[in-house]
Amino acid sequence: GIYVCAKCGHELFSSRAKYEHSSPWPAFTETLHRDSVAKREERPGALKVSCGKCGNGLGHEFLNDGPMRGQSRF
């Protein structure tokens, strides 16, 4: 399936990029499209992530915290 922004319906993530993580929120290794999200650095190793279309807050991208070495976790 496709995960979309709750505010505008913009496509964000594919269920193929979803994986189990210890956090209570869904975790993804990558976005669906290059313009799915907008990012800005919040602190070293963590980017604030918002919808690429409407700017709705989506959480964070944690760099090098994915299931494989070098992958991010959204």
Over residues 28-70, the pLDDT tens digits come to 999 999 999 999 999 999 999 999 999 999 999 999 988 989 8
pLDDT reading at 25 higher than 90: no
| Ordered domains of the chain (ranges, CATH) | 2-62 (2.170.150.20)
What three-state secondary structure class fits 38? strand
pLDDT of residue 36: 97
3-class secondary structure, 58: strand
pTM metric for this prediction: 0.86
